[in-house]
Structure 1
Amino acid sequence: MIFRQLFDSVSCTYSYLLAGEHGGEALIIDPVLDKVERYLQLLRELDVRLVKAIDTHTHADHLTGLGALRDRTHCITVMGERSAADVVSMRVSEGDRIDISGVRLDVLYTPGHTDDSYSFTMADRVFTGDTLLIRGTGRTDFQNGDARAEYESIFGKLLKLPDSTLVYPAHDYKGDTVSAIGEERAHNPRLQVKSVEEYIALMDSLHLPNPKMMDVAVPANRHIGLHQEEIARRGWSFAPQEAFDIVGTPSTALVDLREAHEREIQGVIPGSLHMPYGELEENIRAGGLLHELAVATGKQILFYCAYGERSAMAVEAAQAAGLAAARHIEGGLDAWKKAGGPIAH
């Protein structure tokens, strides 16, 4: 496995790039907007393709690189289901997994620093965001932070991981790069409390100043979605109500771009073909399944995904590949459900 820990000295943020192998797929955790060019350079140097970009929570001290990486690489953006971000490609909840070739992350919901904080575990390590830091814990005094919830996240979930589990946080202000669960249990001063009430009192006594960029970063990081209005202006989208009239007709091939586990949890629009977004490029090129389907039958290709972001990118790619009849359902399955469209499980 390829693993790189990257540091932004301005916000003291750690970002993590993981890939199964050279020439394969990669993901990045907690990217910083100002470092996007560096990430892209590193991706080229390692000969890996970014397919997923993840934020552990809505950051208050820097601008996220999720949107810029999506625009530059067409990767899938990922956040927890509790996130207030306007649009991300995929929302995950506790018990879900995030897969790329050669790498699997399991999702833990670990609120407390914010109400949308998630951690991601592998066999030997955990990416804790700002919930558990090295010799510290995330502050709980803004963005619906809750010291009681953080105590439960740390003591009820993270500290139940094996002692040897490596701890990789989203921030460090002292120069430490990695710790371990057993090490933090023994030496983290904020974890030496005897009760949740003692932890709450400790956190309430901190009186920390707000992050310098908080008033800018939080609103910006909640508005990172791909602007599907531009796709609509080009005539490449259908509102869900408009799609009701064409889904199921002989002239339309409905294509679900989500991953298999999303389909299992969220359901599907009846009659849709499953072609995951990660396989789009090979499917729309000459000789690919979708390309041949459109050419041979004259069918309109109608994409959909969870929230419309992947399908909007798919339409752009399909149009560039010469599939002039490609369209997508604006807002994805989420909008389809809200409009009362049928769902099969």
Structure 2
Amino acid sequence: MIFRQLFDDVSSTFTYLLADEVKKEAILIDPVFSRAKRDIALINELGLTLTLVADTHAHADHITAAWLLKQKTGCNIASARAIGAQHVDVALDDGQQFGVAGIALEAISTPGHTDGCMSYLLADQTMVFTGDTLLIRGCGRSDFQQGSAHKLFESISERLFALPDTCLVYPAHDYHGRTQSSIGEEKAFNARVGGGANETDFVEYMKAMKLPHPKKIDEALPANLRSGCTEDGKLPEEPDWADIRITYAGVPEIGEEWLEHHLDEVTVLDVRLEEEVKDYPATEALVDIHIPLDQLRSRIGELPADKPVVALCRSGRRSAMAVNILKENGFEKVASLSHGLLAITRD
């Protein structure tokens, strides 16, 4: 199985990518709206097809990317029927089996943080994605949005702690740099519900917590009840000057075919060394200006500002750094030629 744990440092949210190595269909759990480009780039680079996105609950601290990913990839959306969110294709009930080719999951109803909380258990019970119900050495709060400490204790102690001790726990959040735990660990060491705590212990602990109101709840919750659909139903604006593709490394790139048909609309910047240019003089017709990468910062003023800039080099690696330097210096319409001159000379 292909498995990736992704992180949004703004909301401390984990997004999980699962895919079968043979079938190549992928599922994303708890995707974040602002990280959709990153997720799509990773899926493309791994040669996968995004077939399903699933939210563990209606989040109060960030907006889900479910609807946006559906628009971009045609994937389906899954979430608990109890949420009643719009644009959902697979409304999940307790015990329901779902997933993608080669990846089977079971939906386990685990309310208490919210009524619509679901945990997703891998079919072989080696992994469980617990959302905000069970965190590493903690749990979700129960003081708003249909929260109930009594329900939360039952969900954790009777549903999740009934799983094998070896089952790995992957939560929706962690605020201290921890990435995974296990059912056995949490039963023994969870600060709120582990170590033999009973319902009274847990409920009194949760009642004593005085947490601030979630900062983004007024924005996030209504949006998440629309599965992340924007208020006007329109997609976020994208760069319109070129067919830009963002890599998983965060580099804006264009393909050599697009460049070939739009040479007169951009400034092509070659950041190779002088000796490299002399070795391949045939590329001179493609290039508008040559500035070696190590000189770019000091010679930035030589670049015209009236056109977008496409940086190139031999492989596309140095031109990616050139894009960063250009952005640092106020150039907004910039891109790297994907795979550099290798993409052109191999044709």
TM-score where L is the length of structure 1: 0.64
How far did 1:226 drift? 7.4
Q: How does 1:226-305 map to 2 (within 5 A)?
A: none
Q: Deviations over 1:256-308 (max 9, x none)?
A: xxxxxxxxxxxxxxxxxxxxxxxxxxxxxxxxxxxxxxxxxxxxxxxxxxxxx
Which residue, 204, 212, 217 being the options, matches 2:207? 204
Q: Between the two proteins, what is the percent identity of the paired residues? A: 46
Q: Does 1:56 align with 2:56?
A: yes
Structure 1 distance, partners of 2:167, 2:203, is 26
Quickly say closer, same or farther: Cα 1:187–1:194, change in 2 above 3 A: closer
Which consecutive unaligned segments of at least 5 residues does structure 1 have? Answer: 231-345
Q: What does residue 282 of structure 1 align with?
A: none
Q: What does residue 45 of structure 2 align with?
A: 45
Bigger helix share: 1
How far did 1:55 drift? 0.2
Q: What does residue 89 of structure 1 align with?
A: 89
How far did 1:95 drift? 1.2
Structure 1 distance, partners of 2:218, 2:45, is 36
Which consecutive unaligned segments of at least 5 residues does structure 2 have? Answer: 234-347
Structure 1 distance, partners of 2:211, 2:9, is 20
Q: Which amino acid aligns with 2:57?
A: H
Q: Which amino acid aligns with 1:183?
A: E
Q: What does residue 145 of structure 1 align with?
A: 147
Q: Deviations over 1:68-110 (max 9, x none)?
A: 0000011000001101312311101111111211100011000
Which residue, 205, 213, 221 being the options, matches 2:216? 213
Q: What does residue 178 of structure 1 align with?
A: 180
How far did 1:194 drift? 3.5
Q: How does 1:20-169 map to 2 (within 5 A)?
A: 20-21=20-21, 24-122=24-122, 123=124, 124-169=126-171
Structure 2 distance, partners of 1:225, 1:198, is 37
Q: Which amino acid aligns with 1:71?
A: Q
The number of residue pairs the alignment matches comes to 229
Structure 2 distance, partners of 1:213, 1:226, is 16
C-alpha contact 1:80 1:118 (8 A) present in aligned 2:
yes
Q: What does residue 323 of structure 2 align with?
A: none
Q: Deviations over 1:153-197 (max 9, x none)?
A: 000010010100000000000000000000111111101464212
Q: Deviations over 1:227-279 (max 9, x none)?
A: 9xx9xxxxxxxxxxxxxxxxxxxxxxxxxxxxxxxxxxxxxxxxxxxxxxxxx
Structure 2 distance, partners of 1:125, 1:23, is 20
Structure 2 distance, partners of 1:177, 1:198, is 26
Structure 1 distance, partners of 2:174, 2:199, is 24
Q: What does residue 246 of structure 1 align with?
A: none
Q: Give the superposed CA RMSD.
A: 1.7
TM-score where L is the length of structure 2: 0.64
Quickly say closer, same or farther: Cα 1:226–1:31, change in 2 above 3 A: closer
2:45 is paired with a residue whose SS is helix
1:152 is paired with a residue whose SS is helix
1:128 is paired with a residue whose SS is strand
Structure 2 distance, partners of 1:144, 1:117, is 10
How far did 1:198 drift? 2.2
Q: Deviations over 1:7-52 (max 9, x none)?
A: 0000000000000016621000000000000011001111000000
Runs of 4+ in 1 over 6 A off after TM superposition: none
Q: Which amino acid aligns with 1:219?
A: P
1:190 is paired with a residue whose SS is coil
Structure 2 distance, partners of 1:173, 1:43, is 26
Structure 2 distance, partners of 1:137, 1:17, is 22
2:28 is paired with a residue whose SS is strand
Q: Which amino acid aligns with 1:206?
A: M
Larger radius of gyration: 2
Structure 2 distance, partners of 1:70, 1:146, is 32
2:187 is paired with a residue whose SS is helix
Q: Deviations over 1:184-222 (max 9, x none)?
A: 111111014642122111111111001211111001111
C-alpha contact 1:22 1:47 (8 A) present in aligned 2:
no
Q: Which amino acid aligns with 2:37?
A: E
Structure 2 distance, partners of 1:26, 1:61, is 25
Q: Which amino acid aligns with 1:41?
A: A
2:146 is paired with a residue whose SS is coil
